[in-house]
Amino acid sequence: MRESNQIVEMRGIVKTFPGVLALDKVDFDLHKGEIHVLVGENGAGKSTLVKILSGVLPLDHGNIQLDGTPVRVTSPTRAQKLGISIVFQESNLSPFLTVAQNIFIRHEPERIGFIVDVKEEEKKAKELLESLSIDVNPRALVNDLSLGKQQLVAFARALSFHPRVIILDEPTSSLTAQDTDLMFSALKKLKAERVGIIYISHRLEELFQIGDRITVLRDGRKIDTLDIKKTKLNAIIQMMVGRDISEMYPKESTKIGEEALRLSHVTRKGVCKDVSLSVRKGEVVGLFGLVGAGRTETMRLAFGLDPMDSGSIQLFDEDVTHQLPGKLVDLGMGFSPEDRKKEGLCLALSVKENIERASLDRMFPSGFVSGKKEKEVAQKYVDDLKIATPSIERLALYLSGGTQQKVVLAQWLCAGSSVLIMDEPTRGIDVGTKVEIYRMINELAQKGTAILVISSELPEIMGISDRIYVMCRGEITGELKHGEVTAEKVASCAFGTQEAVDATKF
């Protein structure tokens, strides 16, 4: 009897990307009419697993069964035909088509051959949206909708295929509470119709609200599948994190000096509200929060990349409110962005050129570049930071993620930065290089650099920081010192709902 209840069965799924084992023999199964929650840290392999099931990524090894029959999901179209629909994490609609056009793209109501029956399309879209109580005009351009509404339209599109299996990858990350409720009631209806639902979310409090079973992934491996009703939140967090924190994070105490950077009441509409924080010389400050909490956006304000509405920023003794990044770099600030490939370095430039990118004015005040000096300086940083490159002339494009991150750091060291903002410095980096980066952060702190690290990895931020600020929905919801930090405290600030955490009884 239990067999007939199973709709999806994935066995021994293996997927490698160049240099990374993203999924290591993962087993996963989904029952009819259940909401199966998939959790794990960033990079644990959740999105990769569902992308394989929905035909976006090919698998290396393993097999998939649907209703007991082995299937090969070779393309998104194939998945649609098999009855597997997915709503991706990022908006996956075409911005300059209308809502109705987006919902029915690839299965348009047709009159003759390839001609779209526009009236029928709009009518069907309207019916579908109304049945889900989504208040969106089918004729509106998707580009004109808020992110949350776009996500609801993507959800409607997924349902328009009448799927047997629906996958939701962080569907509520940009939804309002009201829209979240709306989606949940739709999901409950689907459950009753025996649709299998895979649900990925970082908002752990949600999972208890709607989930039936939970599977935890970590570093590409399945840790366990559990009945959610019999599981406690702290047990889930422990499974997600899993490692022994003290070994990985060689935290050394440093002498903490005067204040280096201070944000006072920084506000920007839709980004952050009344954010005040400070970093001292020799101090490593962590900024934690869920994806979408506004951490990156706030630090972009601090580095002058975006304008702010009100508040002030102080760098050492100088008021640098509304200053441009160029001026801030001159005053000793450095910024290592989250997306190092796009914003952190120039992939088409060599290691040498990347390292010296922010320092050429200072290195060569005459305006003429000395090739000899250029090489000496670059070589020094390559040696000091043990940057794994065959030559300083190697293009950044060909380096591994961890090595690229070191080059970004070298760039700011070369520029003499004394205040460093690092956004997700270890994202997508293997464990060994991670530890090296933590060591470098320590060394810098010991030399008196003020460091602010944004991270979504709880153990990382707990391991390396002297002090942690937690953000939730654009506001600072907590400040915790090294000694008093526990995963539970940080998590409860990050989720912004003390009650939700209490309810699950730590």
Catalog residues that contact another protein under the rule CB under 8 A. 56, 75-77, 80, 88, 92-97, 101, 105-106, 108, 110, 114-116, 118
Which residue has tokens 């994070």?
249
- Report how far residue 500's alpha carbon sits from residue 472's, in angstroms, rounded to the nearest whole number: 14
Q: Are the C-beta atoms of 64 and 53 separated by less than 8 Å?
A: yes
Q: Give the Å distances, CA to CA, from 167 to 100, 154, 296.
A: 21, 12, 28
Indicate the residue among 105 and 363 with the shorter CB distance to another protein. 105
Indicate the residue among 49 and 290 with the shorter CB distance to another protein. 49
- Report how far residue 303's alpha carbon sits from residue 320's, in angstroms, rounded to the nearest whole number: 10
**Please, what is the minimum distance in Å from the beta carbon of residue 92 to another protein?**
5
Indicate the residue among 46 and 406 with the shorter CB distance to another protein. 46
**Please, what is the minimum distance in Å from the beta carbon of residue 106 to another protein?**
5
**Please, what is the minimum distance in Å from the beta carbon of residue 128 to another protein?**
17
CA 63 to chain centre: 28
Which two tokens mark 483?
A: 């000694």
Q: Are the C-beta atoms of 222 and 216 separated by less than 8 Å?
A: yes
Indicate the residue among 106 and 322 with the shorter CB distance to another protein. 106
**Please, what is the minimum distance in Å from the beta carbon of residue 77 to another protein?**
4
Indicate the residue among 97 and 190 with the shorter CB distance to another protein. 97
- Report how far residue 201's alpha carbon sits from residue 39's, in angstroms, rounded to the nearest whole number: 6
User: Please, what's the b/e burial string for 302-315 (b: 16 or more CB within 10 A of its CB; e: otherwise)?
Assistant: bbbbeebeebebbb
- Report how far residue 156's alpha carbon sits from residue 150's, in angstroms, rounded to the nearest whole number: 10
Which two tokens mark 115?
A: 């001609």
**Please, what is the minimum distance in Å from the beta carbon of residue 94 to another protein?**
4
Indicate the residue among 97 and 349 with the shorter CB distance to another protein. 97
3-state secondary structure 325-339: HHHHHHCCEEEECCC
Indicate the residue among 110 and 135 with the shorter CB distance to another protein. 110
3-class SS at 283?
A: coil
**Please, what is the minimum distance in Å from the beta carbon of residue 95 to another protein?**
5
**Please, what is the minimum distance in Å from the beta carbon of residue 492 to another protein?**
36
